[in-house]
Amino acid sequence: MATTLDFSKFNNKYKNDEEFNAALEADRGPGKYFKPGQYELEVVSAEIQTEDTKNDDGTVTKGPVKLCKDPRWATVIYTFKAVGGEAEIRHFLMVPLAGPEYQGQGGKKPTLLMFHKFKSFVKSLGINADAGNIPEVLREYFSDPAVQVGARLKATLGHEDAHGVVVRKKSEEGGLLMKLVDKNGKDIVKEDGSQVTGANDQVLKLWCKTQKPEIRFGGFVRILETEPSAEPVKMKKFSDAAKGIFD
């Protein structure tokens, strides 16, 4: 009798190729560049945005804190790195200086939306950011946001606006060709139903500007949502870091 293999214990958890390919992409990791998807990220740097001056010799002189359109808010610039990968991405977080309301331009009604985004992001880093705890959070983690270096969170990356995707690679006959898609990856077409294509992002961006209303174009993947990491890293507080310097 011929030897046979027993497959009775094989557990196929992928319902279709779409699920399998998504898992395969995640298994490969982001490489040097991020694609839309979910990633574990680690804080590489966190710096307060300042009004910098570029000197003639190429050096940069740091200036005062650069305030937002509502001067009661400032911005912290994060650089994240994929855990176990090389890819890096920047993220801008608006931080309240005087209260939770953000005053819109043109006399618009103050909004709590920016404060909600701030709280959600901070909680993703593993910080207790209940509304009543915010003054301590600001003092301990944002007096010098560099104390957050090493912290982790899980982020969903994607596009906020229309963007270009490669149809034909530069190395292929005819050279690089890109098509325009919306933030969800659906083709954007002209009035005659034909696909919007171009030799590079700049061509697609210019086409978007000619449309009425203008189509917002964003060529890069951004952090859309954050949540706590599966393996959080406890951070030092500003007061703890200061003790290490002055004690």
Q: Is the link from the previous residue into 145 a cis peptide, with omega within 30 of 0?
A: no
Predicted local confidence at residue 24, as pLDDT: 64
Contacts of 87 (CB under 8 A, 6+ apart): 30, 31, 32, 33, 34, 81
Using pLDDT thresholds of 50, 70 and 90, give the confidence band for residue 29.
low
CB 96 within 8 A of CB 73: yes
Q: Structural domain boundaries of the chain?
A: 32-159+221-246, 163-210
Q: What are phi and psi of 184, to 5 degrees?
A: -95, 0
Q: Dump pLDDT digits (tens) for 38-55.
A: 999 999 999 999 999 888
Place of tokens 């779409």: 18
Does residue 245 carry a pLDDT above 50?
no
Q: Can you tell me the mean pLDDT for 69-92?
A: 95
Q: Is the pLDDT of residue 26 over 80?
A: no
Query: Residues 91-100: what's their mean pLDDT?
Result: 96
Is the overall model pTM greater than 0.85, yes or no?
no
Nearest to 38 by CA among 109, 115, 124: 124
Q: Of the ranges 2-16, 31-45, 163-177, 211-225, which one carries the lowest mean pLDDT score?
A: 2-16
Lowest mean pLDDT: which of 18-32, 140-154, 227-241? 18-32
Least confident of 30-34, 124-128, 215-219: 30-34
